[in-house]
Amino acid sequence: MSPASTAIALESVSKRYGSTTVVRDLSFTVERGEIVGFLGPNGAGKTTTMRMIAGFITATSGRVLVGGHDMATENVQAARQIGYLPERPPLYDILDVAAYLKFVAKVKGISRSDVPAELERVTAACRLETVFRREVYKLSRGYRQRVGLAQALLGRPQVLLLDEPTAGLDPGQIHETREVIRSFGEDHAVLLSTHILAEATLICRRVAIINQGQLLAIDSPGGLQRAAEQTNVVTLQIAAPAHDVRETLVSLDGVLDIDVQPCAGQPELLTVQCRIEPKEGLEAALARAVAARWDLHRLERQQPTLENVFLRYVSRAAGSGDVR
C-alpha cells in the first residue's frame, strides 16, 4: 500500500508508566478500506494503544500517525479524522439520545445545517429510531453501546477506533453492529479491539495479536491459520508403557513433538498429545502405529482454528513481563 492510503501508522511506539512498560516497540498500519482486528487478553495493552491513537494519552517514544498527521505535534488535525468508541461509551445520562448526539455534533464542528442529516444517518445506521427521544439513563446496555457507536460515526470520520464495540449486545444487535462496521470499513479505516475471535474472522481483513504490550503477529485470519502448523494436534488415549509410546510415535515422519501424561482418573491409560505437520494420512499412521502394539482407546484431531492460533501466540509470550 502507498503512504497515501495509510490511515493509521504506529512506528516503534512504546508507553511506560514509571518502571512499567505497557506497550513496547509497537509497529503496524491500518489502510483505508480495511478493518483490522486487534486481539489480546485482558491487560495486553490494547486499550492503551487505542488511547494513544485517539490522542488521549501520548506515547513515551515512537510516532503515532493518523492520516499522515503526527499525534504528538498535530493533535487537532489528526483528531478531526477520528471517530472513537472507547470501552465505556462517553454518554451523558441526563440528556436524551437526540440532545446527546446534537451535542457531540456541535463539539465535532459539524455545521448546523448538516446536523439533521447527520443525526438521521447515524440513527438509522445504529437502529436508534425507537429510543431517539428517550433519556440515556433509561437505555439498556445494548442501546447505550449503539449510541456510543452513533457518536463515533458522526461527521463521517476517516478512521474509526472501536474498543469492544459489541460488548453487552444480544445476538441480533451484534449482527446489526457488525454490519454497520463492515459497511463503514469499505471506504474507511477501522481498528477493532475485541475478545471475540469469531468477530475478527467474520469482518476483519487482518488480525493483529498483542500480548504484554508486544505485537506477536499480524496477518489475515486465513494467513494466521495457514502459518499455524503447530496447532495441528492429535490426542490419543493408550494403554501402554510411556517410554515405548514416546519412542514409537516420535519416530514417525511428520510428528514434531510428543507429550505423554497419565490419564486423569484412569491410571492404566496414557494421554498422548502429538504435535504434527499438516500432512494427509498422518492421523491414520498414528492410529496404525499404536493399534499394532497396544490398545487405542481414543483418537481426536485438533484443527488449526484462529482460536488455537491466538492461544498459541499468547501462551508463547506468557511470563515475559507485566502489562496493565
HSE value, Cβ hemisphere, 13 Å, CA-based, for 69: 18
Does 45 have pLDDT greater than 80?
yes
Stated pTM of the model: 0.74
What pLDDT is recorded for position 93?
A: 94
Amino acid at the residue 129 = E
In the chain, pLDDT over 70 holds for what percent of residues?
A: 90
Distances (CA, A) of 248 to 47, 140, 271: 48, 59, 15
Name the average pLDDT for the chain. 87
CATH 3.40.50.300 residue ranges of the chain are 3-223
Range 3-223 classified under CATH 3.30.70.141: no
Query: Could you read off the pLDDT of 77-97 as tens digits, one per residue?
Result: 999 999 999 988 889 999 999
Strand partners, 13: 26
Residues 218-234 have pLDDT tens digits of 988 877 766 665 557 88
267 or 208: which carries more pLDDT confidence? 208
Q: Is the pLDDT of residue 324 over 80?
A: no
Give the pLDDT confidence score for residue 26 in this predicted structure.
95
Which run of H or E residues covers position 146? helix 141-153
- Give percent above pLDDT 90 in the chain: 52
- Grid cell in block for residue 324: 496493565
In whole angstroms, give the CA distance from residue 269 to residue 136: 59
Mean pLDDT of 174-189: 86
Contacts of 207 (CB under 8 A, 6+ apart): 36, 37, 39, 200, 217, 218, 219, 220, 221, 224, 306
Type of residue numbered 42: N
Q: pLDDT by residue (tens digit) across 274-318?
A: 888 777 788 889 999 999 999 998 888 776 666 667 776 776 665
Query: Rounded distance, CA 112 to CA 65, Å?
Result: 30
Residues of the chain with CATH 3.30.70.100: 229-303
The CATH topology of domain 229-303 is Alpha-Beta Plaits (3.30.70)
pLDDT of residue 322: 42
